[in-house]
Structure 1
Amino acid sequence: MERFSKEQEDALQLLSSLQKLEFWSFKDLQQLPAGLRKLTSLKILLVNCCPAISSLPNDALPDSLEMLDVYNCSEELKQQCRGLEGTDNALEFPCTFF
């Protein structure tokens, strides 16, 4: 699967109380769902072994996010996470990347 369908993205938005979301071993997934910012209860986002994902969603991450872990992913995604830590909009939560 390279990307989520419109139906899958819409269904994800219905999970308004979702607090933890993990993406594991999606080898061909090129992007995370666009509407992650709308998951207003999301506290933990884990992305592991998703080498085709090169960036975070354009509309950013939810304000409720407390932890972002990125493991075994593309160098571009890791660099974007590192960049988030050094900006005025710096992450106020742990961001780990390997």
Structure 2
Amino acid sequence: MERFSKEQEDALQLLSSLRELEFWGFEGLQQLPARLHNLTSLKILSVCSCPAILSLPNDALPNSLEKLHVYNCSEELKQQCRGLEGTIPRVKIQ
């Protein structure tokens, strides 16, 4: 899977009370779903073992985000996430 379909992204938006979201082992996934910033209850976002993702969504992340965990991902994604240190209370990159 390289991308989420429009239907999948629309379904994600219906989860308005979602507090934690984890993407794990999507080796072919090239981008995270757009409109993550609309998930206004999201506190924790984890992206693990997703080496093809090179950046965060263009629309940014929700202001409610308290923890961002990035493990075993591309250097480009890690670098972008390092730039968020100080704007998100807990950023952990490995």
Residue 53 (structure 1) aligns with: 53
What is the one-letter code of the residue matched to 1:45?
Answer: L
SS at structure 1 position matched to 2:51: coil
Moved over 4 A (4+): none
What is the one-letter code of the residue matched to 2:64?
Answer: S
Is 1:91 matched up with 2:79? no
SS at structure 2 position matched to 1:3: coil
Taking only aligned residues, the RMSD between alpha carbons, in angstroms, comes to 0.7
* Contact kept? 2:68, 2:88, Cα under 8 Å: no
Structure 2: tracts of 5 or more residues without a match: none
Task: Give aligned pairs, total.
Answer: 94
Structure 1: tracts of 5 or more residues without a match: none
Deviation at 1:72, TM superposition (A): 0.2
Residue 75 (structure 1) aligns with: 75
TM-score (norm 1): 0.93
What is the one-letter code of the residue matched to 2:45?
Answer: L
What is the one-letter code of the residue matched to 1:46?
Answer: S
* Distance of 1:4 and 1:94 partners within structure 2: 27
TM-score (norm 2): 0.97
Deviation at 1:92, TM superposition (A): 3.4
Kindly provide the CA deviation profile for residues 33-78 of structure 1, in whole angstroms up to 9, marking residues without a partner as x. Answer: 0010000000000000000000000010000100000000000000
What is the one-letter code of the residue matched to 1:53?
Answer: I
SS at structure 2 position matched to 1:30: coil
Residue 38 (structure 1) aligns with: 38
What fraction of aligned residue pairs are identical, expressed as a percent? 74
* Distance of 1:92 and 1:55 partners within structure 2: 16
